[in-house]
Every structure is written in C-alpha cells, then in structure tokens.
Structure 1
Amino acid sequence: MTPKRVWVVEDDTVYRRMLSRVLNRSDEISECRVFPSCIEFFDALENWQRPDMVLMDLGLPEMSGVEGIQELAEKAPDVSVVVLTVFSEKEKVFEALEAGASGYLLKSATGPEIIKGLQEVSLGGSALSPAVAKIVLEDIRKPTPTDNYKLATREIEVLEKLALGMSVKEIATALDISKSTVSTYLERLYQKLQVQSQSGAVAKALRSGIIK
C-alpha cells in the first residue's frame, strides 16, 4: 500500500511508545502521531493534516473509544479506525464495529499483525484478530430475531456479498451492476442501518438476522 499516516490513541504510556516504535519502523507508515486521549486527538485533528487511519483503544479517559469512533465518523468519515484493545467481549466488539470501526484487533497482536491489519483496512477490507473473528462467526450461527430495517432485496444482496469479504468492484461484477450503483446501495445501507462503515453494516445485519 502507499505509505499511510497513522495516528494512535492509547492511554497506556508504555504500550503507546511501543506502538510508536513499531509503526515508525514500517515502510508502510509515512507518519505516526500518538495521543493519550480522544480529547487531545480531536484537538490535533483541527490543526494538522488528517491521518488516513487511526488505531483506537477503547478504555480511554474522559471520552471512550466508542464515543471517539462515533465522533470521528461525523467529523472525518474518510478516516478509517481500527480498534486495538484488551477487550474481547462480544458486546464490545459489536458496539465498536457498529459505531464505525473498520477493524478490531486485540493487544495480543504482534507488530507485524498490526501492520497487516492496517494494510487490509487500507485496501478496503476489515481486520479482525482470530479471537474476535471467532466471536463474529459464532454470532452468525445463532438464530436471531429478524429486523429488516425496510431493506430492498438488492440492498440485502449487497450486504451478503460484503459479509463474504467482497470489494465494491467484486460486488459490482457479481451482481452485474456498476461500482457507482454499489456505492449508492452502500450509502442507503449506512443510512438505514445507522452505521458508518462496511464492517459496521455487516455486523448489524448479522446481529439483526438480516443475513446469515
């Protein structure tokens, strides 16, 4: 991928410094800035060139990571967020994904695994630690009450393709429609499901029983 600007929001000083070293050593990262809280992060967002991606902890002082993800989705929806946290509970995972996170990594991830996750998100995919992916898969298998959010058949088809990990281009080919049409469907889905990202749309659709 083209080198990206990555900012880190992490209140643990030791872990924050470690992440900074890992990211600064990577050829995939052109800039790394670190912040101990969302408050300082958003202050910097007003004054510096925006990052391409953000690594966001969840257990942060003053403003939680999920609140930070939601606010960032409003202020800078083009900036991707990858959660990096110790929390592996299902509720935390889906809360973050539905808030707009494009990935969810645990702090047990190695440096190369974190870089790989950022690469996947940069290419339009999502990044999930194995334990988190297991949680998502287990939730898919459970029967859930259906709430279709008044989705059209074609919108559900787009969601199903997203759940398979397809890109916008691949979905367009599979459904024999243009990429711009797929993007239009995605915009409608985000509005109807009240989410900010592809991973958030898939997570909410799975939990609501819209797709299996």
Structure 2
Amino acid sequence: MIPITLWIVEDDTTYRRTLQRLLNRTGHITCSRIFPSCIEFLDAIQTNPQPDLVLMDLGLPGMGGVEGIQQLKVLAPDVTVIVLTVSAEKKKVLQALDAGAAGYLLKESSGPEIVNGLQQVFYGGAALSPSVAKIVVEELRNPAPADMFDLSVREIEVLEKLAAGLAVKEIASALNISVATARFHLTNIYRKLQVPSQTGAVAKALRAGII
C-alpha cells in the first residue's frame, strides 16, 4: 500500500495517544504529529512538511474544528481533513462538510473502520459513518432547480459514481475515460456547484435533486 502521512487534532489526551498508536501499527500509515488544539495545528502546518491527511475533532478548545477546517483550506488547500468526533448532530455534520471535510467518522467507529475511512479518502473517495450518511441523504433533499448549475450529462455521470463511493481511478474506469479527464470533470463540478470537496459536491447534488 502507498504510505500515508497523518496528523491528529484531538484534545482528549488518552484518546489522542491511543489513536496514534493504533494507526502507527497499520504499517502504511504514519501518524507523525498530534495536537491538542486547532491553533497549535495551524501554526505547525505553516512551518512543517504537510501531511496527506488530518483527523480532526470538532469540539476543540479555543477554535472549533469547523473553523479549523476553514482556516486550513486557506493555509494549506491540498491537505485533506476527515472529522473524527462523538457527535452525529445534523447541524455539525452539515457545517463540517460545507467547510470542506472529506469525511465524517464517529469515535464509536472501530480501528479497522477508521483505517478504511482514511484509505477511502486518500484514494479519492469519501468516508461517512453510516448514521452520518443517513443524515446527509435525508437532510439534503430539499429540491432546487437541477439545471441552475449547468452540469453536463458527463458531469452528472461522474457525480453519480462519486456518490456511489468510487475513487477517481474507479470513476475513470467505469466511464471509460482517462484519470486526467475524470479529474477535469471533478474540477468543473466543484466550480459549478461552488463546493470545496467531494462530499460537499455529493451533498449539494442530492439537495438539488441532480442525483
């Protein structure tokens, strides 16, 4: 497997260290830095080699996780965030996804479930705990005119594959197009839907009744 570099932002000391040990035992994931707050994390992201992924809690001291995700998108837009928190509250889920989180996992998830979620996101997919996925589907179905976003037929096909959990390479294979073309369509989709992430695109597409 391709090595993954990971940072954790979590204020619970015991859980933070336990999670770090768990992930470092996987062999291909290196959890090199852990932080108790977004403020310390954002300081470090500007002066250190950036990780591939970040696992971030939402209920953090000083600066909440949602604001931390928003700040990160400005400072290091190529770094991907997966939320790992206790709350499946609808408002928090939607705020985190709208801010640009690529996944939303609950702390009740098992170790293998967390590792699987990290791998899905790393390879271009999305990761949602089952109860969170249910919230997204149920709450984002307020219909809006689908044609207002001016999506092409191919872009809608890409969105449908994205919603099915396919990574970029899998989308390219399923639609018999190159990976570069698939990425090009995704870039256009993000621009037209005005979203920063794959989960945000799927959520907005569901709300608009596009897929």
Which letter maps to 2:190?
A: Y
Change (3 A) 1:89 1:146: farther
Shift, 1:18, TM fit = 2.1
8 A contact 1:139–1:206 mirrored in 2: no
1:144 is the counterpart of 2:148: no
| 2:187 aligned residue | 187
CA deviation map 1:16-44 (0-9, x unaligned): 22222222333122233111111100111
CA deviation map 1:126-182 (0-9, x unaligned): 221121122234346x45233532323332222122112223233334434332222
Change (3 A) 1:208 1:94: farther
Change (3 A) 1:130 1:159: same
Please list, as runs of the form range in 1=range in 2, the aligned pairs for 1:1-212 lying within 5 A after superposition. 1-139=1-139, 142=141, 144-147=143-146, 148-211=148-211
Query: Gapped runs of 5+ residues in structure 2?
Result: none
Which letter maps to 2:56?
A: M
State the TM-score, normalizing by the size of structure 1. Answer: 0.88
8 A contact 1:23–1:32 mirrored in 2: no
Query: Gapped runs of 5+ residues in structure 1?
Result: none
RMSD in angstroms over aligned alpha carbons?
Answer: 2.1
CA deviation map 1:34-85 (0-9, x unaligned): 1111110011112221111100111122322112212222332322211001
What secondary structure is seen at the aligned counterpart in 1 of 2:192? helix
Give, in whole Å, the separation in 1 of the partners of 2:167 and 2:5.
23
Give, in whole Å, the separation in 2 of the partners of 1:25 and 1:168.
27
Could you list the structure 1 runs, at least 4 aligned residues long, displaced by more than 4 angstroms after superposition: none
What secondary structure is seen at the aligned counterpart in 2 of 1:47? coil
State the TM-score, normalizing by the size of structure 2. Answer: 0.88
Give, in whole Å, the separation in 2 of the partners of 1:126 and 1:91.
19
Which letter maps to 2:102?
A: S
Which letter maps to 2:78?
A: D
Q: What is the identity percentage for the equivalent residue pairs of Structure 1 and Structure 2?
A: 61
